Amino acid sequence: MSAQSDTRTRILEAARDLIYASSYADVGVQAICDRAGVKKGSFYHFFKSKQALTLAVIDHFFSDFRDSLIREAFHSDLPPPERFERLVALAIARQEMIHRETGHVLGCPFGNLATEMATSDQTIRGRIETVFSRLQGYVRDALRDGIERGDFPPLDVEATAAAMFAYFEGLMLLAKTRNDPAVLRELLPAMTQIRIPLAR
């Protein structure tokens, strides 16, 4: 990794960790530079603004989430019902680990940013909407596979995927609000049972 690439990565990872643990509004450029061990000049060499950095952080979050959770949960070799069960188990384990390490349930990084920024920054809102659409697509594809294999009955795939994803995000917010990962352990498995029938 080149020195420039290393510096950019340090800034990205510092911003990712600080924003996830706190909020967009509470994390300033100086705090990010201090955490990354760089000067402000280096920050603005790579990112023209805090907004530009946040867009890159969203992409970084998505890449990490996809590689560490989505690909393992939605592996095509798994029967579709097991994909959802693994997603639930991995999501619970991730939040329990974070709670043990920090004392806090941090929830979904995309949901956190959406809650904070959706009405104030349309560029960030749009990027998060794209991420949500991609994540929901994994759910939709697993449902379709399950119907084709006979694992699920005929159902409204789009509506079911949207409902399952909304349930997931809502519980992440509830667990964060209560600062209790037990919320996820108790309620998140019910996501796997959501089914919206086809309209008659």
**pLDDT single digits (tens) 56-101:** 999 999 999 899 899 999 999 999 999 999 999 999 999 999 999 9
CATH class of 55-193: mainly alpha
DSSP code at position 47? -
Report the distance separating Cα 20 and Cα 107, nearest Å: 9
User: Maximum distance among all alpha carbons in the chain?
Assistant: 62
Q: Say if residue 1's pLDDT is above 60.
A: no
Helices 109-117 and 157-178, packing angle to 10 deg: 90
- Percent pLDDT > 70 in the chain is 98
* CB proximity list for 68: less than 8 A, separation 6 or greater: none
In terms of Cβ atoms closer than 10 Å to its own Cβ (0-12, 13-18, 19+), residue 21 is: middle
Query: Amino acid identity, residue 103?
Result: G
In this prediction, residues 169-189 reach a mean pLDDT of: 98
pLDDT tens digits for range 101-145: 999 999 999 999 999 999 999 999 999 999 999 999 999 999 999
Q: Long-range contacts: 193-198, Cβ < 8 Å, 24+? A: 194/160, 194/163, 194/164, 194/167, 195/152, 195/153, 195/155, 195/160, 196/155, 196/156, 196/159, 196/160, 196/163, 197/153, 197/154, 197/155, 197/156, 198/154, 198/155, 198/156
* CATH architecture of the domain with range 1-48: Orthogonal Bundle (1.10)
The pLDDT of residue 68: 87
Mean pLDDT of the chain: 94
Q: What is the mean pLDDT of residues 36-51?
A: 94
Q: What pLDDT was estimated at residue 55?
A: 96
Segment 7-34 mean pLDDT: 94
| Whether residue 3 has pLDDT greater than 80 | no
Residue extents of the structural domains in the chain: 1-48, 55-193
pTM: 0.92
